[in-house]
């Protein structure tokens, strides 16, 4: 990653997120000691009439917060400017140490902390955007996609939008939700590939309280209806994955996109007409996208979420067992 690209990320981030128009310039005019000039690539920038020194760390070895504090003192003394360290990513521990030491830093796409101007413009700071109590369905889909197939790791927003039935704009919003909950981090550069910070069990545990049932509505269809091959859902799915018995009425899952024309032409109806009618769970996302086109059963994690509100102790134990075996 070149210096110009990193600085460009800072410019884009502040403009797109906070409406701050800035222009960086290479730092010149003062000869710094060799160890400083090789450790940092320096630029200057003006924000709200304050001139700052952007310090992009060169190489793979990142100084600790304690070392950065020492470098900040020396850079400030030698240049007369306030150092602002540009970091590709940051752990919660390092972030706390930097803020505690009142060290200015920016993580493009994530956070901008500038104590000298008395502003903390972290994109996902609670008072700005808030940590979502519940993930949107697209964000939930990304979590489940990663847990079930590992296909979200390392992908950019554009790459994800090409693989799933969501637009790039929707994927971008979904990624911001995951960032707000510290479930992911993003890589360097404008594309910023997605990286999950927890293993499967940790991701499921951290995300679970923010996940929701995929079911948007319930409809019914005659048992004689000719429907495309739909995966079993609800108790029909659980009975095929456990020792529990199936309900008398078979249950299937269908995406809300696929269900819409069937509701329009009268194939699906709001109330059952016969005891043999099929129950159709209309999902917010395509159930086949997570279970696989050839699967006859919905994926186990969405199944868990769809049945999590059941009062039957046997059902709860069965779905917990499914997750335990998977993760």
Residues across the chain: 327
* The pLDDT of residue 293: 86
Pick the CATH number of 3-120 from 3.40.1350, 1.10.3470, 3.30.450, 1.10.490: 3.40.1350
Distance CA 302, CA 289 (A): 11
CATH number of 137-210: 1.10.10.10
Q: What is the DSSP string of 131-170?
A: --SS--HHHHHHHHHHHHH--STT--HHHHHHHSSS-HHH
Q: Are 315 and 292 in contact (CB under 8 A)?
A: no
How do residues 139-174 score in pLDDT, each as one tens digit? 999 999 999 999 999 999 889 998 888 888 899 889
List the domain boundaries for the chain.
Answer: 3-120, 137-210, 215-326
What pTM was computed for the model? 0.61
User: Which ranges of the chain have pLDDT less than 70?
Assistant: 1-7, 14-21, 48-49, 116-131, 187-191
Q: Beta strand 82-86 with 50-57: parallel, antiparallel or unpaired?
A: parallel
* The pLDDT of residue 218: 94
* The pLDDT of residue 244: 94
* The pLDDT of residue 212: 93
Residue showing tokens 């050839």: 294
* The pLDDT of residue 127: 38
Give the count of alpha carbons within 13 A of 55, CB side only.
Answer: 26
Q: Facing residues of 186 across strands?
A: 194
Q: What is the DSSP string of 59-98?
A: SSPPPPHHHHHHHHHHHHHHHSSEEEEE-S---HHHHHHH
* The pLDDT of residue 140: 96
With b meaning 16 or more CB within 10 Å and e meaning fewer, what string describes 161-189? beebebeeebbbebbbbbbbbebbbbebb
Distance CA 246, CA 197 (A): 38
Q: Are 28 and 51 in contact (CB under 8 A)?
A: no
Tell me the Ramachandran region of residue 18: left when phi exceeds 0, alpha when psi lies from -120 to 50, beta otherwise: alpha
How do residues 187-232 score in pLDDT, each as one tens digit? 665 567 899 999 999 999 999 999 999 999 999 999 888 887 899 9
């Amino acid at each position: 990653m070149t210096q110009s690209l990193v600085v460009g990320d800072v410019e884009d981030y502040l403009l797109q997120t906070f409406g701050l128009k800035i222009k960086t310039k290479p730092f010149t005019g003062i000869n710094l000691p060799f160890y400083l000039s090789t450790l940092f690539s320096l630029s200057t920038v003006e924000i709200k009439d304050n001139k700052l020194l952007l310090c992009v760390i060169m190489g793979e070895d990142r100084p600790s917060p304690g070392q950065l504090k020492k470098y900040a003192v020396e850079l400030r003394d030698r240049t007369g400017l306030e150092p602002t360290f540009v970091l590709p990513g940051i752990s919660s521990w390092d972030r706390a140490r930097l803020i505690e030491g009142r060290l200015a830093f920016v993580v493009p796409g994530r956070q901008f902390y500038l104590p000298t101007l008395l502003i903390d413009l972290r994109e996902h700071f609670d008072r700005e955007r808030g940590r979502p109590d519940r993930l949107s369905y697209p964000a939930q889909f990304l979590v489940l996609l990663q847990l079930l197939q590992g296909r979200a790791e390392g992908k950019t927003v554009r790459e994800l939008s090409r693989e799933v039935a969501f637009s790039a704009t929707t994927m971008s919003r979904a990624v911001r939700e995951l960032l707000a909950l510290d479930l992911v981090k993003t890589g360097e550069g404008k594309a910023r590939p997605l990286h999950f910070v927890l293993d499967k069990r940790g991701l499921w545990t951290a995300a679970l309280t923010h996940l929701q049932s995929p079911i948007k509505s319930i409809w019914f269809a005659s048992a004689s209806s000719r429907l495309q091959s739909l995966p079993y859902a609800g108790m029909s799915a659980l009975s095929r994955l456990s020792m529990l018995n199936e309900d008398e009425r078979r249950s299937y899952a269908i995406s809300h996109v696929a269900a819409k024309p069937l509701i329009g032409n009268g194939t699906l109806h709001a109330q059952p007409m016969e005891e043999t009618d099929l129950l159709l769970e209309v999902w917010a996302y395509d159930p086949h996208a997570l279970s696989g086109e050839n699967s006859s059963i919905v994926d186990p994690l969405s199944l868990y979420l769809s049945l999590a509100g059941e009062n039957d102790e046997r059902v709860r134990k069965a779905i917990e067992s499914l997750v335990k075996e998977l993760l």
